[in-house]
A = this chain, B = another copy of it.
Amino acid sequence: MNTTTLSHEIADTLRTEILRQQYRSGERLPSERDLAARFSASRGAVREALSQLDQLGLISIQPGGVRVKPIEEASIAILGPLLSLSDTPNLLLVDQFLQTFAAMSALNAREALTVANTEQLAQMRAMVAAVHKSGTEVAASQKEWVEFMEYLAEVADNLVVRLIGNDLKAQFVNRMVKEELKITLKKKAVADVVQSLNEGLETGDRDIFSNAVLHYFDQLRAAVIETLNQRLAI
A positions within 8 Å CB-CB of B: 1-2, 7, 44, 47-49, 51-52, 54-57, 60-63, 71-79, 93, 96-97, 99-100, 102-104, 106-107, 111, 158-164, 166-168, 207, 211
Contact = CB atoms under 8 A, between A and B. Distances in A.
Nearest to A161: B100
- The residue in A49, A111, A160, A166 that gathers the most chain B C-beta atoms within 10 A of its C-beta is A160
A167 B102 CA distance: 20
A73 B166 contact: yes
Contact of A77 (B75, B79, B97, B107): B75
9 contacts: A2-B62, A7-B51, A75-B76, A78-B163, A79-B163, A93-B160, A96-B160, A100-B158, A164-B164
B48 A167 contact: no
Main secondary structure of the interface of A (DSSP, over half): helix
A158 B77 contact: no
Contacts of A99: 107, 111, 158, 160-161
Nearest to A79: B160
A199 to B, nearest CB: 16
Given A47-B48, A73-B166, A100-B158, 20 more contacts: A1-B54, A1-B61, A1-B62, A2-B61, A44-B47, A51-B51, A51-B52, A52-B54, A72-B162, A72-B163, A75-B76, A75-B77, A75-B167, A76-B164, A76-B167, A96-B159, A102-B107, A103-B104, A103-B106, A160-B168
Nearest to A2: B62
Given A48-B51, A97-B160, A60 B166 contact: no
B107 A163 contact: no
Contacts of A103: 103-104, 106-107, 161
